[in-house]
Chain A
Amino acid sequence: MSNLLNISPSPHAHGKETTQKLMHGVVVALMPALFTSIFYFGIGAVIVTAASVISCLVFEYLIQKFVFKKPVTITDGSALVTGLLLAFNLPSNIPVILVVIGSFVAIAVAKMTFGGLGNNPFNPALVGRVFMLISFPVQMTSWPVPAGFKTGYADAVTGATPLAIIKEGIKNGESVSQLMEKVPATIQMFLGHMGGSMGEVSAIALLLGLVYLLYKKIITWHIPVSIIGTIAIFTTILWLINPEKNADPMFHLMAGGVLLGSIFMATDYVTSPMNTKAMIIYGCCIGILTVIIRVWGAYPEGVSFAILIMNAFVPLMNTYIKPKRFGEEVKNG
């Protein structure tokens, strides 16, 4: 025999999918939201996104090279996605130093301490965001009023998010119908013309991203649909019970981070359940927790907390909720 043959067990073919392609698919799906946030928040959005992405990549590189002393895999796209998602969860006028601290918490604390990609129990970007929200509550809740490219960075005019307006108002005894005049119209909220984290404001851009993710089969419909569906049903019930105390379901879906959370954060591969039955339960629980926090909790917005709480249940769900095996139940007609 002149040349040696390779021997390996089957299969001898492999699909075209790679981790990198999946991650880059998510990045592409995030682009519409990035462009709309630059459109509404101007230079601030560019600065915050760049700071977040660069620092996430740098921290991952440094830790892999000098702490793990293993091959550096920052090109796999996972740190890029974390960086983008963290930026999307921040106001566009936040100082760069805070973004760097948030990135450090996301990558070093939430991801690398557990062993890197695939091992972290909590969504790194959300851990970063919640850490910042608790540590720097003032900077994290002064939202620039969108004014297009004219929106300043450090000197931006700030205002409250629609959710905060409603929450404050109800606490002060105002009725929802009065408060609704103070918040942007539904169509404006749909397009993204409102105060909020830079990536969460535009429903249309996020839904475009969802269509792309589903089309490319990067995620399945189960998690986003169960979260959005549960929130819609729960808030409809509350709204029907007392429309003067509770905002309508459309408002709940458009305002705040429901779409960003359900499409991009809750669907994070590593921290979400692995079979469809568990995915639906996970999604419903996130929906219920979100509404509970929004309506009865201390914070006007609860998506991030809801997702992080449910992240903690994922290992349990993976162990006890299993897909029905082929041939498990004998039922033949």
Chain B
Amino acid sequence: MLKTFPSGGIHPPENKLTSNIPIGYLPVPGNVVIPVSQHIGAPATVIVNKGDYVKTGQLIATGNGFVSSNTHSSVSGKVSKIDTIFDTTGYKQPAVFIDVEGDEWIGTIDRSSNIAREITLSPDEIKKRCFESGIVGLGGATFPSHVKLSVPEGKKCDILIINGVECEPFLTSDHRLMLEKGEEILIGISILMKALKVGRAKIGIENNKPDAIDHLTKLAAGFEGITIHPLKLKYPQGAEKQLIKALINREVPSGHLPLDVGAVVHNVGTAYAVYEAVQKNKPLFERVVTVTGKSLSKPCNYVVRIGTPIGRLIEAAGGMPGDTGKIVSGGPMMGKAVSNLDVPVVKGTSGIVVFSENESERKEPGPCIRCSKCIGVCPLNLQPFLLMKLAELGMFERAEKEKITDCMECGCCSYTCPANRPLLDYIRLGKATVIKLARQRNLK
């Protein structure tokens, strides 16, 4: 029996159209837009001015405080303006606009293709390098990685968990990365282990990627303390707490962090970025993005410079299909629908999924028949039907008691509801309101 998390979860159609397509390199676009807040935490402060010439990899915005991250230029060229744009979250935020001129990299980056195996930096230097290089969690949450590597006083980390699950349908960027950059990822994991001072790391991979499991298992023989663990296919196994439960059977208490059970979780993409930052001195300014969708003529995986408008990616994947109804940044379960094609790729963009008009339609909701399927699929064992009702009726105090804030918005409830009820929409509303009310209460 393959391991998995115990309760809830769903099996959406995988639709991994691009799992056999090697990662290509998307040509540098004519202009990029780099938002200064591509991570969780305080936005970075812009340190370049309009008209400045910047090189690829040059720091253009510095992180503010501990929970923040640096931002680098992904191209060389002239800063045309510093203005606000709508990013993938749908909010307006400041960004640096750069007109591309050539592709001149900063001199400190090691651009050679040979693999650097020896880890020379000390744990503190590794953390510092991660911060300087703007490394954030590339699984989608974009939490600054150096924060996760800094174990606070009084807490102990005894295991590193690496997330190679990629449970979102359609997305294959992590899968391809594991196949093509396996050794670099394992070196990256060794670096993370050194920074955390832990002796073992477990990589969890769902069994729909047998080639990646085989490949990494073979490679891992040469690395001390790293083991590969096939997992049963189930969404949302890539969620931190679910992955920890599946791999080492520890349950992160509600409202706590993985570190409270001695674990730290990083994504395989992050491990690769850490390898590049630490061994090659390369800041995070490009990432692998899956461009996919049933209606696209050439779905593919690309290394893309941060700030590239997503319209460029869709062009490269065969052009925008005529019947396009929705474009999602991220996977279909948790991704965000974008409003236009100028939205830039950011550090957290793991994929762009194009849906036809037909696929993007939401059906008319019917009455709740209390079938309790939403309870059955909730990985956190909440009662989504009840949380929705409470949010709908404005009963936020009761919703707080029912632990609406535990919800991680995986979308299993809305996906499963036979009456097409917009459960997660209301739960999100309720959750946001409850958090706001709690904050006001704490201020008093």
Binding site for B on A (CB under 8 A): 1, 3, 5-15, 17-19, 21-22, 73, 76, 78, 116-119, 220, 269-270, 272-275, 322-328, 330-333
Contacts and interface: CB of A to CB of B under 8 A. Distances in A.
A5 B335 contact: no
A118 B326 contact: no
A270 B369 contact: yes
B409 interface: yes
Contacts of A323: 375, 381, 383
Contacts of B249: 333
Contact of B334 (A3, A11, A15, A119): A11
A259 B120 CA distance: 71
Interface stretch (B62-70, B109-117, B412-420): B412-420
B437 to A, nearest CB: 21
Contacts of A328: 253-254, 381
B336 interface: yes
Nearest to A78: B369
Contacts of B373: 17
B275 interface: no
A13 B325 contact: no
Contacts of A322: 383
B264 to A, nearest CB: 15
Interface in B402-444: 403, 406, 409, 411, 414-420, 424-425, 428
B371 interface: yes
Contacts, number: 155
B341 A1 contact: yes
A5 B326 contact: yes
A283 to B, nearest CB: 14
Given A9-B428, A10-B337, A323-B381, 9 more contacts: A6-B325, A7-B337, A10-B330, A10-B333, A10-B424, A22-B369, A273-B372, A323-B375, A327-B255
Q: Majority SS of interface residues in chain B?
A: loop
20 contacts: A5-B325, A5-B340, A6-B357, A7-B338, A8-B362, A10-B409, A11-B332, A11-B333, A11-B415, A18-B418, A19-B366, A22-B418, A270-B370, A274-B375, A324-B381, A325-B406, A326-B7, A326-B379, A327-B254, A328-B381
A326 B415 contact: no
Contacts of B28: none
A5 B338 contact: yes
A269 B425 CA distance: 23
B326 A14 contact: no
Interface string B375-412: 11001111101000000000000000001001001010
Contacts of A275: 372, 375, 383
Nearest to A274: B372
Contacts of A21: 418
B324 interface: yes
B370 A274 contact: yes
Contacts of B372: 269, 273-275
B414 A14 contact: yes
Interface of B: 7-8, 10, 12, 90, 169, 241, 245, 249-256, 261, 324-328, 330, 332-341, 353, 355, 357, 360-363, 366-373, 375-376, 379-383, 385, 403, 406, 409, 411, 414-420, 424-425, 428
Nearest to B339: A7
A254 B357 CA distance: 53
Nearest to A332: B250
Closest A-B pairs by Cβ, 9 of them:
A11-B411, A274-B372, A118-B367, A327-B254, A17-B418, A13-B332, A326-B380, A6-B326, A269-B371
A19 B375 contact: no
Contacts of B362: 8, 14
A326 B385 contact: no
A326 B369 contact: no
B248 to A, nearest CB: 9
A333 B366 CA distance: 44
Nearest to B366: A19
Contacts of A326: 7-8, 241, 245, 251, 254, 379-381, 406
Contacts of A269: 369-372
Nearest to A14: B415
B286 to A, nearest CB: 25
Contact of A15 (B12, B326, B336): B12
A7 B255 CA distance: 31
Contacts of B368: 118
Contacts of B254: 325-328
